[in-house]
Each structure stands twice: as C-alpha cells, then as structure tokens.
Amino acid sequence: MAPADLYLETIDFRRYLENESCSECGFSSCAKFIEAVRSGDREPLECSFISRNKTYALEAFRQIKDLWPEVPLLTHPRPAFAGLVELNGPAPESLVLVSGNNEYTEQVIMTVMGTTVCPFFVLFTDTDGNTVDMAMVYRTMTAERIHKALNETGLYGKACAREMVIPGIAHRIKDDIEKLTGWRVRVGPVCAAELPLFLSEIWMPPEAD
C-alpha cells in the first residue's frame, strides 16, 4: 500500500530563522542552508542566528523523521484511544494539544511528543477513527466534539490556562471552538513534525530533565 502524506514538505523552515540574508553559514540563502540541515550535511548550530531552543527543534525534526511510524495511505477509519494523555506531569497552566483518535495519527503524535520533556495535555478527540484531514472532510472533528471531550476528560477544571493548539488542517473550526468553549485557540502546523519548531520556546529536550 502506498504511504500516506504526512505533510513534511509543507514545513517552511525559513519562517523560524531571524536573518534571511547574512550568508555567514557559507550558503547563499537560508533555504539552501536549511536543505543542508534537513539532509544531515550541516548542523543547525552552524547558523549563528538560530536560538538554542530552535536549534534543538531542528534536531528534533530530524529525530522524528527517523522514527516516523509506517503509515499507509488510509481508506478506512482506524479508531483508537479517545481521551486525555497527561504527558510529563502537566500543571494547570500547561498547553492542550488537540488531535483525532486515528490509530496512526496517535502513533505520529506520540513519536513527536517523545522528543520533549515539556508537560502537555494531549487530547485525542473522537473523530470516529478518521485522520484529521479526513475528519475535516467528514465533519467528525468539530467544535462540538472538542467541547464534549473537554468536559468528559475534566480539562475545563484541569487546564486553567484555557489555551489549546489545533492541527493546521482544522483551521476553519478555530472560531467555532473559541465561541463554544471560551478558550484561546492557536492554529498549529499542518505537519506534526513541525510542532517542536512551532513551540520552540517551550520544547525542551529530554536531556534537560
């Protein structure tokens, strides 16, 4: 079976760099330097404008690529765990990450989360086992379902920050979620492997534990 598209090519690494034209790394552009980092020919630390956290986030991306589970191109839903995972001992102010309850989606998300010791609430909403992209097509990821999951898992009481990150593919339900829940909703990346960069200010490596 053909592999599923995990949207790795959608990541625009240049948006996380702070200088677009210095050439101090020896490359004529940031884009060429990033390609060298992605291929393993250069190390993120060779850019003097990348913060320590973003340097680790780029390293985490390369780890994730090597650890990605085998994900086939799906034709049928594969329901898995629907509920809350409290990762690394989250506190009331910890961020809530929202995804769907497809078996492969959960494997991908937990592979990504394995690159940090940062505490998170990870909420796998019941999408009838659809991946997030298909859940948006079939409307099984909705503000109503997320609101229900927040209630059923007790997150309304546990997560005092009232802030969640939803997958980039689910961007069009952002306003609906905010109106229904009263929470702040951040639209995250389309590709889960981009999460370390998107949240680089808090994405601490396991060595920091």
pTM of the model: 0.88
- pLDDT number for residue 94: 97
Does residue 44 form part of some domain? Answer: yes
Does residue 200 form part of some domain? Answer: no
- pLDDT number for residue 3: 65
Does residue 206 form part of some domain? Answer: no
- Is 155 in the same domain as 54? no
Nearest of 192, 57, 42, 37 to residue 116 by alpha carbon? 57
CATH of the domain at 140: 3.40.50.11600
- Is 186 in the same domain as 126? yes
**Sheet hosting strand 184-187, strand order edge to edge:** 83-87, 120-125, 95-100, 163-166, 184-187
- Is 129 in the same domain as 179? yes
- Positive or negative, the Cα torsion across 204, 113, 70, 7? negative
Q: What is the extent of the structural domain holding 152?
A: 83-192
CA angle 160, 166, 170 (to 5 degrees): 145
**Number of domains within the chain:** 2
- Is 112 in the same domain as 148? yes
- pLDDT number for residue 209: 45
Structure-block tokens of residue 148: 């229900």
Does residue 16 form part of some domain? Answer: no
Parts of the chain with a pLDDT under 50? 209
- pLDDT number for residue 20: 61
- pLDDT number for residue 164: 98
